[in-house]
Amino acid sequence: MNNKLDISVVVPLYNEAESLPELVAWIDRVAVSHGYAYEVILVDDGSSDGSWEVVESLREKYPAIRGIGFARNYGKSAALYCGFAAAEGEVVITMDADLQDDIEAIDGFLKKYQEGCEVVYGVRSSRATDTAFKRTTAQGFYKLMRLMGTPVIDNHADFRLMSRPALEALSQFGEVNLFLRGIVPMVGFRSGIVEYERHERFAGESKYPLGKMVSFAFDGITSFSTMPIRLITLAGFGIFVVSLLALLIFLVQKLLGYTVQGWATLMGSIWLMGGLQLLALGVLGEYIGKIYMEVKHRPRFVIEQVLDDSP
């Protein structure tokens, strides 16, 4: 399109050396068969398994590849944001490197784009490939995020299309704590959904075990919602009311001459209040920590090396 690439495919990498050759071959095969002009931007997020060396070798065979290597691991959102900034296509499609996202769904993405959608989300049609535990935790993740007021799309990860106007709007979001799954829906514009069947992982292990998923969810919640602080306020108010009622009961018992043992009640109350106070301090600390990181204005990422023929 007038010397501009039709499609930029941005792929964040973190220890994906095994799947890279098949991924790039797959993208090239689909793009050529459909007649797309394309580029693939591979952003290496501080991999330690030789992923960058694989990117270098693949570039010799596929000129459409552009590589960006971070100086260390900055996280998937930072890698995606870097790819957005480097992309030259009319539309940008982001996908994971593990071959679970179905690149054939790009046809559906482009149809939605031609119908006027500036953002198109790839949404899993089912979770048949997941274990029961993974399905349960994933469903819980989306429910929790919505409950806490974080804008997320159910069963959508980072397989999406964004137009140039949507990317320009996204660039105006200046926070260091990037949570793209919540930020992209906040950008606005007309959006659409394309369902696809998610494949089995081609190689390696998931980069999101349970512990990391919990951390990811908490990060998303504290980046977009003050609901946890409000819940602490409500809990404090509730405990205050209960304490007043208990005090009234104890006074009545005292006036009636009853002896109140109270040892278990006293110790239980101390432990309950202590735990609640520590929880409240922890939640408040998370928000203060985010403020601390934002006011430093540190760079989202540092680029160490680039493979690119662009001027």
| pLDDT on residue 54 | 92
What is the torsion angle, in degrees rounded to the nearest 10, for the CA atoms of residue 167, residue 168, residue 169 and residue 170?
50
**Radius of gyration in angstroms for the set of CA atoms belonging to the chain, rounded to a whole number:** 25
> In this predicted structure, what is the pLDDT of residue 1?
39
CA dihedral 135, 139, 144, 147 (to 10 degrees): -170
pTM of the model: 0.72
Question: Could you say which residues of the chain have pLDDT below 70?
Answer: 1-5, 127-131, 133, 138, 201-214, 216-218, 220, 222-226, 244, 247, 250-251, 253-254, 257-269, 271-272, 275, 293, 309-311
Query: pLDDT tens across 136-170, in order?
Result: 776 777 777 777 777 778 788 889 999 999 999 98
**Separation between Cα atoms, residue 90 and residue 168, nearest integer Å:** 12
How would you classify the pairing of strands 7-13 and 38-44? parallel
E strands, the chain, are 7-13, 38-44, 65-70, 91-94, 119-124, 160-163, 191-196, 303-307
Q: In the sheet that 7-13 helps form, which strands lie side by side, from edge to edge?
A: 191-196, 119-124, 160-163, 91-94, 7-13, 38-44, 65-70, 303-307
Query: 210 — alpha (psi -120 to 50), left (phi > 0) or beta?
Result: alpha
Tell me the per-residue pLDDT of 197-225, one tens digit each, with 9 for 90 and over: 877 765 556 555 666 666 766 676 766 66
Please state, in angstroms and rounded to a whole number, the distance separating the CA atoms of residues 38 and 295.
Answer: 38
C-beta neighbour count of 40 within 10 angstroms:
25
User: What one-character DSSP code corresponds to residue 105?
Assistant: G
Residues 6+ apart with CB under 8 A from 226: 287
Q: What is the pLDDT of residue 220?
A: 67
Q: Which pLDDT score is estimated for 311?
A: 47
Q: What are phi and psi of 22, to 5 degrees?
A: -70, -40
Please tell me the predicted confidence (pLDDT) of residue 2. 40
First-residue to last-residue Cα distance in the chain: 18
pLDDT score, position 131:
66
Q: Coil, strand, or helix at residue 40?
A: strand
